């Protein structure tokens, strides 16, 4: 479809968003099963929480403009990978790799891309593990593949990222360079605490 994505209340746009919603729900249901199964097997909540969202129409258009993509459905589908997003919150840092490995073994889904912000944190201090997953979906009598972004974080990482986003993007005033540096420093402290608690836990398991 070579239609311009300007009228976000357009029927075609809304129908496309419903496809992403279905793919998100389908993957979320699988992740909930993994949450319950890992709790039974390991004896604690490996996954403490799962949340999800669909990007707002304005956010999608803004991202396309920021990346200098022509506002067509083709560019939207091919180049915007995080329209549907799921966040998986783990208790321990080591649980992230465990959940990542389980996700890679989910039948019929394909992992298209992975970004390890644990080993290579963003300049802002942000840490997490990102995966772009292609989910098969039955749509109008045929199988289509829809991309869903999965972010895996610890509770400490989620606490920092949620508040950093709120401070930078949900307040009236632009954050100062000094406060940005403080946020980066606090991210490093939380990361060290995450590591130390995980190490204590590992000792108890031996």
Domain map (residue ranges) of the chain: 11-205
CATH topology of domain 11-205: Beta Polymerase; domain 2 (3.30.460)
What does the H/E/C string look like for the chain? Answer: CCCECCCCCCHHHHHHHHHHHHHHHHHHHHHHHHHHHHHHHHCCCCEEEEEEEECCHHHHHHHHHHCCCCCEHHHHHHHCCCCEEEEEEECCHHHHHHHHHHHHCCCCCEEEEEEECCCCCCCCCCCCEEEEEEEEEEECCEEEEEEEEEEEEEHHHHHHHHHHHHHHHCCCCCCCHHHHHHHHHHHHHHHHHHHHHHHHHHHHHC
Whole-number pLDDT of residue 69? 92
pLDDT digits (tens, 9 = 90+) for 86-99: 999 999 999 999 99
pLDDT digits (tens, 9 = 90+) for 25-76: 999 999 999 999 999 999 999 999 999 999 999 999 999 999 999 888 889 9
């Amino acid at each position: 479809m070579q239609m311009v994505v300007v009228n976000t209340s357009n029927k075609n746009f809304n129908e496309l968003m419903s496809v992403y919603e279905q793919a998100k729900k389908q993957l979320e249901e699988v992740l909930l099963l993994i949450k319950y199964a890992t709790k039974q097997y390991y004896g604690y909540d490996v996954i403490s929480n799962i949340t999800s969202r669909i990007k707002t129409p304005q956010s999608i258009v803004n991202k396309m403009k920021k990346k200098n993509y022509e506002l067509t459905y083709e560019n939207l589908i091919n180049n915007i990978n995080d329209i549907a997003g799921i966040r998986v919150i783990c208790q321990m840092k080591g649980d992230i790799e465990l959940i990542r490995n389980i996700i890679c073994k989910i039948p019929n889904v394909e992992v298209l891309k992975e970004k390890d912000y644990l080993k290579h944190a963003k300049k802002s201090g942000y840490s997490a593990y990102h995966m772009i997953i292609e989910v098969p979906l039955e749509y109008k009598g045929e199988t289509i593949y829809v991309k869903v972004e999965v972010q895996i974080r610890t509770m400490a990482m989620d606490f920092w990222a949620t508040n950093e986003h709120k401070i930078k993007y949900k307040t009236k005033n632009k954050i100062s360079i000094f406060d940005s540096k403080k946020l980066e420093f606090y991210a490093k402290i939380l990361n060290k605490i995450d590591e130390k608690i995980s190490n204590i836990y590992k000792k108890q398991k031996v």
